[in-house]
Amino acid sequence: MNITAIQVTPVLAPLPRPVRTASGTIASFPLVLIDVSTDAGVQGRAYAQVYLPELLPALAHCVQGMAGLLMGQPLVPRDLHSLLARRCRLFGLKGMTGVALGGLDMALWDTWARALGQPLVRALGAQLRPLKAYNSVGLYDADSVVEIAGETRAAGFAGLKIKVGFDTLAQDLAAVRAARRALGDDIALMVDYNQSLNPAEAMRRCKALDDEGLTWIEEPVLADDLASCARIAQAVKTPIQIGENFHGPAEMRAAIDARAMDLVMPDAQYIQGVTGWLDAAALAHTAGLPMSSHTFVEASMHLLCATPTADWLEVLDAAGGLRLAPLQLRDGCLTPWDTPGLGMDWNQDAVACHRL
């Protein structure tokens, strides 16, 4: 079975509400939809994402350019991943090239699993199972976070992650405590600084959060400052979570060697798709690190089922407004759809409406 076409569609995917972070607000999610066709009539799909709409045309061109290297090639995902990595070696696989590779790799594995007529998780040798899921939201102060916590409880999530990184530690603490009161003791609470603090301020704030009952504190400092991450992880009782900005498994290996975190959460795109995730899962297993996901809920459901140290599934449903199948949350958990591939098909009317 050979690849005959790869269609690339840039869209601004609608969100139920904007996602505010310490570095800016995401009003709609800039995505590049990737649709693969083969000479056997099998089609598969996935998407790549970039946080800034200004960069969406560049990502679409990058995906299209890399897709051209795959035309006529046999549908063997690992071989195609190696082909792209080899061709990009001189330029590197960070930034747009790494994002494009990750999105294409997910689409290729989806097509491969559809050709087998199996959900991706079964094609990978694992089983469908429920995964504890948390609601991932933006930056809300002590007043506005109460409504979000109530929605999280009503929806049946097992956890809630809020952004922090207000101007003062007092504001962070107030938001955390308000969320905890609204959630009750039976729903997990995580916080995410999105790399917004310098090392000294990160140490101060993380220590101050130590007695707030948090499941983790995420990315308190710059993602590549592994030395500061390690110092904070050693000094703070609350687990430190990083990983969404690992560009490929090699960066995760370096973070493990530096003891930069207590928990790890790679991004299915940045870690270089399904191929990279499987390598990362093996690293986490060897290191004994609980491994969660970052966005890309459709692929992450399948990949966590095949991850020996699987922990939490993040639900920030970037493509939900374009997808036909809704997520099915039950008893705080999500289970992958029992359909071929990732189980993801586009609502073509919605795609046409939100196409760039």
Residues annotated catalytic, as ranges: 163, 294
Q: How far apart are CA 311 and CA 307, in angstroms?
A: 9
* CA distance readout (Å), 236 to 87, 173, 219: 43, 16, 13
Q: How far apart are CA 285 and CA 265, in angstroms?
A: 13
Tokens read off for 163:
């952004």
DSSP 351: H
Q: How far apart are CA 207 and CA 211, in angstroms?
A: 8
For residue 260, which of 220, 292, 293 has the smallest C-alpha distance? 220
Instruction: Give the number of other Cβ atoms within 10 Å of residue 179's Cβ.
Output: 26
Determine contact, residues 132/312, Cβ cutoff 8 Å.
yes
DSSP 73: -
N- to C-terminal Cα distance for the chain? 32
Determine contact, residues 229/217, Cβ cutoff 8 Å.
no
